[in-house]
Structure 1
Amino acid sequence: MTNAETTNPDFPEYDWNEMEKSYILSSFFWGYFVTQFPGGYLCRRFGAKLTMFVSTLGSALGALLIPFTVDWGGWQVYCGIRVVQGLFQGLLFPCIHSHLAAWCPVSERNRLGALANTGIECGTVLAMFLSGIIAASSMGWPGISYISCGVGVVWCILWIVFAANSPSESKLISEAECNYIESSKNALKEVDARDTPKKIPVPWEAIMSSWPFWALLVARSAQSWGFSTLQAEIPSYMNGVLGMDMKSNALFSALPYFAMWCMSYIYLILSDVLLQKEILSLNGIRKTFNSLAFWVPAVGLIAVGFVGESQQTLAIVLMTANVGINAGSTIGSALNTIDLSPNHAGILMGIVNTSANIIPILTPLLVGLIVKNEEDRTEWQIVFAISAIVFGLGNLFYIVFGSTKLQPWDDENFLLSKDIQNEDCVDNKSTETKEKY
């Protein structure tokens, strides 16, 4: 859109300055973090099926608007569309975690949850490679919007036809399979797998006073801080200090995400083996993988800051390895919402992702305060040191206070039993008072 030399020159080119480009790139996140928390609520109210359908369809139709509106509305309209797309896509992740909690048998949650998350890296790699090819074709850069919209609409059709909020609502699985999933989730109590799921009130006070929940929140916020540095700031450092324009090279841009995609499967297979052979418990796997995903890139961030201008290959290897190894955070902590509370997984993910998605907005501001000259290595070393400390301390907090145990407040009768206890306390106090008189 801003460089016709690298795309089909028959389509409009827009002369936007760097500030306007940065607004466009960041505008998606302005909307995205706003709907994280509402996403968890809407999922509980209307179900994951409808909420995910609306989320994806709204984002897809937003993409279709871009070629028809940018020509007369400029970068401001483009920003507005990206904000709206962010608002729609912000609903998605809380729904995904709620959906995984509803559909995955306990023994398979780790595997299926990690497998579902590999789609993120796969989509990123495909988008980076195919976008350049599409833009250079006869469709030009508008083709990226058309195809993105088409893929989204096709997914929505398949989703609305085949998806169901829970096994008990699905008409496409056998009763035996439904009973297997439900009995796995309710191993300690007898349930009828075809019962309609209850609407369970959210125990806000218990959640907010739970140390395992705060450990998860801290870990995911630290992950967001560290990953935003790996994703956005290292390429800027390599351009300013090492003279490497990573963003203009599709291979260099996609390589870290390709490594992340591959490493996701390695972590997935390894965790399965460790669990099945009982070498590590689920708690041990979560904390071990999260330690690898946080502490190894923390060291790598420090190392990148000392790479010389003649060691460009080493810089690429370090960046790719750091991002690839960081893939372990999905199994390490991202899926912990389902461990703590399957009934409230969507709400937990909404809270956690709201916090985590504020970080990518704050990180560039801090970098802007520290880095006054992009060619000054010392200033960048301070940025990397801060990110390494955040990675290190965030994981340490998770190791100490994190847990994979099902929390008491997940129980559907938790608030009811608490109310009964409070009433008993009031009755006892009343009886004691009467006895005194």
Structure 2
Amino acid sequence: MASETNTGPMLGQRHVQTFLLFLSIVVNYIAKFNAGVAVVAMTNAESTNPNFPEYNWNEMERSYILSSFFWGYIMTQFLGGWLCRRYGARLTMFVSTIGSALLVLLVPFCVSWGGWQVYCAIRVCMGIFQGLMFPCVHAHLANWCPVSERNRLGALANTGIDCGTLLAMFVSGQVAASSMGWPGIFYISCAVGVLWCVAWWIFGADTPKQSRFISKEELYYIESSISENTKEEDTKEVLKIPVPWKAILTSLPFWALFLVRCTQSWGYSTLQAEIPAYMNGVLLMEMKSNALFSALPYLASWIMAFVYVIVADILLTNGTLTITGIRKTFSSVASWLPALSLIGLSFLDSNQKTLAIILMTASVGINAGATIGSALNTIDLSPNHAGILMGIVNTGANVVPILTPLLVGLIVKNEGNRNQWQIVFIISSVVFFVGNCIFLAFGTAVSQPWDAEDYLMRPQPGLALPSTSSEKSKSNENDQ
């Protein structure tokens, strides 16, 4: 009975871990997405600081630079899940971030002799390191989040995506136009990554039991909550649970999640990578205002992420919607409304800058609901295999950002041609819409039977546990 009434300390180490995960995403996204602004500054010095080198890269070469990060990123998603299970999130995420931070520092020193090709090579290597991160984030959340707080803490950690993108767009533009010039973008990206690594090494812990700073009250609260649903109290036990690959790869809810994450990635990455070029070419905005307004959609997204968290908590607390209902409702809002905004955006030009900025801001801001709508669904389907699921899903979702800049490079031959951008935005809208339809039909937030520790042993009599995690989760789902 005590475990049902215990709510743990209002502010504890689980919140510290969530904040560190938030910051890890922020610093990695700054390094990841500063290229959207950097390539504009590096190829048009007059728009920023003309005292630094300018490179004559065409649109296709710039597209290669923007997509090259993801060539490496998709290679290490599975590896990230495995390393996290083998060595824990603390070490794996440290290696991931320090590697990416040191590599981004190489750009201003190497691009002068290696051109866009060496910039691509550096970003491929950065992607290899950062590919380890998100499987660890989801596995770490599964270890640290009490079940009743999983939705809230997971969503708060993932707001780092919006904050990191916001800072990458806004700060990069301001730095490029300052006395530091475009090389300053890379110096600052490196510095914040190294600072995070220091904080993570001091305060990060793979499990509540391994934390030096956690109170006994909070340790009991977290372990009792997680053990009731997964019967796990230590990540070492998770390593003993075999991965039911066949069951995962034949699961309709898993594939619905996989597809909706890919389609949301398509629409989001189109805007993420191409907003600076679109504003510069079609809306005829110079770099300083370009950076400000490029960042505005991600400020809206960051704010909306907190709005979605509050609304989701209210709906769950009042019993208005189940977790599955929350996932599907928020996913629909985050997919279909941005699809409509993108179609509207495709018909605007430089004479309608204000409306274009409003629609871009609305599209990205509303899309923040995708975090609660689908991104956390890996933990719903299988807390025991959340890192593995995230590795698979993130691999597919990040093949997409390789393709979208290349598609833009093929379609947009003239940055100032609104009709060519129109094709890009309409394609993204259709992809947004179709992917969410599949998730509505087959998605769920109920823990799957193959999450149970004894799933692969069930054909053998006498090995089944008294109650499986899937049964517990189903009862929890009904309670909610």
Which of the residues 106, 109, 127 maps onto 1:86?
Answer: 127
Any conservation in 2 of the 1:168–1:196 contact (CA below 8 Å)? no
**Equivalent position of 1:77 in the other structure:** 118
Shift in CA distance, 243/88, structure 1 to aligned 2, threshold 3 Å: same
Cα distance in 2 for partners of 1:228, 1:97 equals 21
AA aligned opposite 1:112: L
Q: Can you list the C-alpha shifts for 1:50-95, whole angstroms capped at 9, x where unaligned? A: 1100000000111222233233333322221111111101111111
Determine if the alignment matches structure 1 residue 272 to structure 2 residue 302.
Answer: no
**Equivalent position of 1:197 in the other structure:** 237
Determine if the alignment matches structure 1 residue 320 to structure 2 residue 351.
Answer: no
Determine if the alignment matches structure 1 residue 183 to structure 2 residue 212.
Answer: no
Q: Which stretch shifts more, 302-311 or 83-92?
A: 302-311
Determine if the alignment matches structure 1 residue 219 to structure 2 residue 260.
Answer: yes
AA aligned opposite 2:93: M
How far 1:194 moved relative to its partner? 6.5
Equivalent residues in 2 for 1:151-300, closer than 5 Å: 151-187=192-228, 193=233, 196-199=236-239, 200-232=241-273, 249-300=290-341
Structure 1: 5+ residue runs without aligned partners? 423-437
Question: Helix, strand or coil: the match of 1:187?
Answer: helix
Cα distance in 2 for partners of 1:150, 1:247 equals 23
Equivalent residues in 2 for 1:19-418, closer than 5 Å: 19-187=60-228, 193=233, 196-199=236-239, 200-232=241-273, 249-307=290-348, 310-367=351-408, 380-418=421-459
Cα distance in 2 for partners of 1:194, 1:61 equals 33
Q: TM-score, normalization: structure 2?
A: 0.80
Cα distance in 2 for partners of 1:4, 1:396 equals 44
Task: Spell out structure 1 runs of 4+ moving beyond 6 A.
Answer: 245-248, 372-376
AA aligned opposite 1:302: I
Cα distance in 1 for partners of 2:329, 2:229 equals 28
Any conservation in 2 of the 1:235–1:245 contact (CA below 8 Å)? no
RMSD between superposed Cα atoms in Å: 2.7
AA aligned opposite 1:397: I
Shift in CA distance, 288/194, structure 1 to aligned 2, threshold 3 Å: closer
Shift in CA distance, 148/411, structure 1 to aligned 2, threshold 3 Å: same
Cα distance in 2 for partners of 1:60, 1:189 equals 36
How far 1:13 moved relative to its partner? 3.7
Shift in CA distance, 382/420, structure 1 to aligned 2, threshold 3 Å: farther
Q: Which stretch shifts more, 343-352 or 68-77?
A: 68-77
AA aligned opposite 2:208: P
How far 1:34 moved relative to its partner? 1.5
Q: TM-score, normalization: structure 1?
A: 0.87
Aligned-pair identity in percent equals 67
AA aligned opposite 2:396: S
Q: Which stretch shifts more, 400-409 or 299-308?
A: 299-308
Structure 2: 5+ residue runs without aligned partners? 1-41, 464-480
**Equivalent position of 2:22 in the other structure:** none
Q: Can you list the C-alpha shifts for 1:161-218, whole angstroms capped at 9, x where unaligned? A: 1111111222211232112112111215877x47953412111001011111111011
Cα distance in 1 for partners of 2:208, 2:432 equals 38
Question: Helix, strand or coil: the match of 1:197?
Answer: helix
How far 1:403 moved relative to its partner? 0.8
How far 1:142 moved relative to its partner? 2.8
Shift in CA distance, 77/383, structure 1 to aligned 2, threshold 3 Å: closer
Any conservation in 1 of the 2:67–2:403 contact (CA below 8 Å)? no
Higher alpha-carbon Rg = 1
AA aligned opposite 1:266: V
Shift in CA distance, 163/309, structure 1 to aligned 2, threshold 3 Å: closer
Shift in CA distance, 378/9, structure 1 to aligned 2, threshold 3 Å: closer
Cα distance in 1 for partners of 2:364, 2:248 equals 31
Q: Which stretch shifts more, 106-115 or 225-234?
A: 225-234
Cα distance in 1 for partners of 2:216, 2:178 equals 49
How far 1:109 moved relative to its partner? 0.8
How far 1:283 moved relative to its partner? 1.3
Any conservation in 2 of the 1:341–1:406 contact (CA below 8 Å)? yes
Q: Number of aligned residue pairs: give it.
A: 421
Shift in CA distance, 83/41, structure 1 to aligned 2, threshold 3 Å: same
Question: Helix, strand or coil: the match of 2:237?
Answer: coil
AA aligned opposite 1:56: T
How far 1:398 moved relative to its partner? 0.9
Any conservation in 2 of the 1:168–1:195 contact (CA below 8 Å)? no
Q: Which stretch shifts more, 68-77 or 315-324?
A: 68-77
Any conservation in 1 of the 2:238–2:384 contact (CA below 8 Å)? no
Cα distance in 2 for partners of 1:240, 1:133 equals 19
**Equivalent position of 1:427 in the other structure:** none
Shift in CA distance, 303/115, structure 1 to aligned 2, threshold 3 Å: same
**Equivalent position of 1:432 in the other structure:** none
How far 1:25 moved relative to its partner? 2.2
Shift in CA distance, 417/158, structure 1 to aligned 2, threshold 3 Å: same
How far 1:28 moved relative to its partner? 1.2
How far 1:301 moved relative to its partner? 2.2
